[in-house]
Structure 1
């Protein structure tokens, strides 16, 4: 046809490009038309383990950003967490499943039964799963209910070298066993995609990289003196900080050891940890033992803005899919030091957008922070380059468009685009 939309491989076994007829132009009527009937929407269920910052916030952004005229989006997961109310306020249907936990428990068969009841009752077209345990239970439920499309996103991995061998084996098996139940895989960074293939969690050629979007519009693009004042630290005092849940994944004790190593050489430096978690008591005890003062703010809903008051941002994580807090720190042009784990090197290019260090190496982290403090011009340049990179590549609109394209491709729907003009 002379007018049409190019649709790669639609309806063709050989993948050749065919044309789908373009809709005819609208005619402005002289009389009022009857209201059109409501067209059925594609029902999507996201199944996630812990609906909190990081993977949870990324999942919520993708749910909020889908076209409400085309999609009806639901989220199911572990009860509790700061994002459920925000999801409901945005019009997303939510189901907090009783008994669901982020670790393996004897109640998991009951959780699976509840998921099956939900999927069977609502007849979802797409089940989109996240995280290790949520991915396992969600994909098994989808298969039992014969859900047409199953997608899984790798935000990181539920197993890592620092957990016990039996637990690591169990979580790796959970992810591998559901590989064949999945029609498409997404990953938040190229290195996460590569690791998923190398670990045989996804077949080669079946993983699309969709950068983990972060809403950055409300964040300043440079140092913010107002954020510094929130800590009560004078501008003339160097402030080193981190943001994240204070748990074993983030290695908060390594941050304290890093702070002690820096403090021994630069006694006037201040340190802050923004966040809360089960290891707060151990952090306080170690800081007292090493004679270094670390400000603990507890959970702060404005954590992303507070980062703009730091002189250097540090993450000491032992594993990290990409790092939401890291993305937000780069967006505020903060010089960063980060452990080279999982997808972090896709975001922090050593010497260009920050410095990379080995995990579980507080002395090496302290040396990297010291280098940035000794070379302020280079540190400032890295911060500016990191800001430009994340603000251009991590927009929620781009992520939602990629997820929409994934769903459309699996359902055989044309990808919207400009209508071709008449042939000459």
Structure 2
């Protein structure tokens, strides 16, 4: 049986949902059929995280349009005798798609999020979308992590698209009460606090500003309210300023490699995204038995069935978000029903299903 060498290319400057997806996929590929390789285009923590289990190389791009790396990258690909290139993100798509075309190799792109909302400036978003339109015809196949993204990519001219949902592994099940008390003690959160928590990159697209606005409305009814935000990103200082301005009790932890360990601390998990490819963290919240309020945007409604696994609200609407949070916090029966349904729902998004479906895409392209 022939064994194929699969190269994944990603920016890798941070560890977000796309990076976690890539690592999970590479670690679980059938090694009797596929040998995984990884290239990061930005120096950062992801390469170090992957190196113990995956052959990893960094080619540092100086800017998003840096094509000077292409000759060296192509030489490396030839030396490794790579059979297929799999790209993730704008930088990787630019180099990987062009390189694959010149080397006459099949290539597939996974689309993890909406390009129009991934950037801090409209100019950067327009540039990314423009580059994607130019290089999209070079792809042999496209994978999207939600049907929402599949429709979006198809509207830009994408073809040969397959939706493969991200898979979620079981998180280590420590003692719930112990984990809750331990985390609160570690971060100075009062034992009797009512914790609204969120996990994600601190970026406008994640909607944390809306959560702060909603919490400002909620604290009158719930005076023990405490906001817990886990993650790091470009708007951290902005969020901290807004939290102080609103006089809200809060904990801002920064990036935590095992963020799921904080979930038992939360009385309610909120994902107030303005745009979201799928929302993998929602599956972790379901596992840990935390009721969910999230935005009805992007791929989220494909994960959380409204009024069944959680409550979904209009993105950007702080009043509606506050109302949904109130309806769960004031109704323990409703909270338990949502948690019970979510605890069954997450099992439908398995690592094995994601990996095997991706391997089938590889086989079809390589044949």
Task: Normalising by structure 2, report the TM-score.
Answer: 0.91
Segments of structure 1 that go 5 or more residues without pairing to the other structure are 1-38, 413-424
Query: Which structure shows the bigger proportion of residues in helix conformation?
Result: 2
- The residue number in structure 2 matching 1:231 is 184
Q: Residues 243 and 274 of structure 1 are in contact (CA less than 8 Å); yes or no, is this contact kept in structure 2?
A: yes
Query: In structure 2, the residue corresponding to 1:89 is in which secondary structure?
Result: coil
CA, structure 1 residues 122+52, in 2 after alignment: closer, same or farther (shift >3 Å)?
same
Q: Residues 240 and 314 of structure 1 are in contact (CA less than 8 Å); yes or no, is this contact kept in structure 2?
A: yes
- Deviation sequence 1:241-276 (CA, Å, 0-9, x none): 111122223232222222211112211122211122
Q: Residues 205 and 274 of structure 2 are in contact (CA less than 8 Å); yes or no, is this contact kept in structure 1?
A: yes
2:326 to 366, 370, 385: 370
1:183 matches 2:146: no
CA, structure 1 residues 82+76, in 2 after alignment: closer, same or farther (shift >3 Å)?
same
User: 2:258 and 2:71 mapped to 1: Cα distance?
Assistant: 38
Q: Residues 119 and 141 of structure 1 are in contact (CA less than 8 Å); yes or no, is this contact kept in structure 2?
A: no
- The residue number in structure 2 matching 1:74 is 37
Q: Residues 192 and 224 of structure 2 are in contact (CA less than 8 Å); yes or no, is this contact kept in structure 1?
A: no
Query: In structure 2, the residue corresponding to 1:367 is in which secondary structure?
Result: helix
Query: In structure 2, the residue corresponding to 1:110 is in which secondary structure?
Result: coil
1:64 to 7, 18, 27: 27
Query: In structure 2, the residue corresponding to 1:73 is in which secondary structure?
Result: strand
Query: In structure 1, the residue corresponding to 2:202 is in which secondary structure?
Result: coil
2:228 to 244, 267, 272: 272
User: 2:350 and 2:181 mapped to 1: Cα distance?
Assistant: 26
1:199 to 138, 141, 156: 156
CA, structure 1 residues 77+239, in 2 after alignment: closer, same or farther (shift >3 Å)?
same
Query: In structure 2, the residue corresponding to 1:185 is in which secondary structure?
Result: strand
What pairs with 1:82-121 in structure 2 (closer than 5 Å)?
82-90=45-53, 92-99=54-61, 104-105=64-65, 108-121=66-79
Q: Residues 263 and 269 of structure 1 are in contact (CA less than 8 Å); yes or no, is this contact kept in structure 2?
A: yes
1:145 matches 2:100: no
Query: In structure 2, the residue corresponding to 1:152 is in which secondary structure?
Result: strand
1:403 matches 2:362: no
- The residue number in structure 2 matching 1:345 is 301
- Deviation sequence 1:354-377 (CA, Å, 0-9, x none): 111222222221111111112221
Query: In structure 2, the residue corresponding to 1:159 is in which secondary structure?
Result: helix
Shift of 1:281: 2.0
Q: Residues 328 and 335 of structure 2 are in contact (CA less than 8 Å); yes or no, is this contact kept in structure 1?
A: yes
1:170 matches 2:127: yes
Q: Residues 291 and 335 of structure 2 are in contact (CA less than 8 Å); yes or no, is this contact kept in structure 1?
A: yes
User: 1:54 and 1:364 mapped to 2: Cα distance?
Assistant: 27
CA, structure 1 residues 81+258, in 2 after alignment: closer, same or farther (shift >3 Å)?
farther
Segments of structure 2 that go 5 or more residues without pairing to the other structure are none
Instruction: Calculate the aligned-residue CA RMSD, in Å.
Output: 2.2
CA, structure 1 residues 69+328, in 2 after alignment: closer, same or farther (shift >3 Å)?
same
- Deviation sequence 1:89-130 (CA, Å, 0-9, x none): 12x1111112355xx35xx11233333232233231110111
CA, structure 1 residues 114+317, in 2 after alignment: closer, same or farther (shift >3 Å)?
farther
- The residue number in structure 2 matching 1:124 is 82
Shift of 1:162: 8.0
User: 2:118 and 2:232 mapped to 1: Cα distance?
Assistant: 24
- Deviation sequence 1:3-38 (CA, Å, 0-9, x none): xxxxxxxxxxxxxxxxxxxxxxxxxxxxxxxxxxxx
Query: In structure 1, the residue corresponding to 2:162 is in which secondary structure?
Result: strand
Q: Residues 119 and 142 of structure 1 are in contact (CA less than 8 Å); yes or no, is this contact kept in structure 2?
A: no
User: 2:208 and 2:309 mapped to 1: Cα distance?
Assistant: 23
Aligned length: 363
Shift of 1:235: 5.0
- The residue number in structure 2 matching 1:46 is 8
- The residue number in structure 2 matching 1:6 is none
User: 1:328 and 1:131 mapped to 2: Cα distance?
Assistant: 24
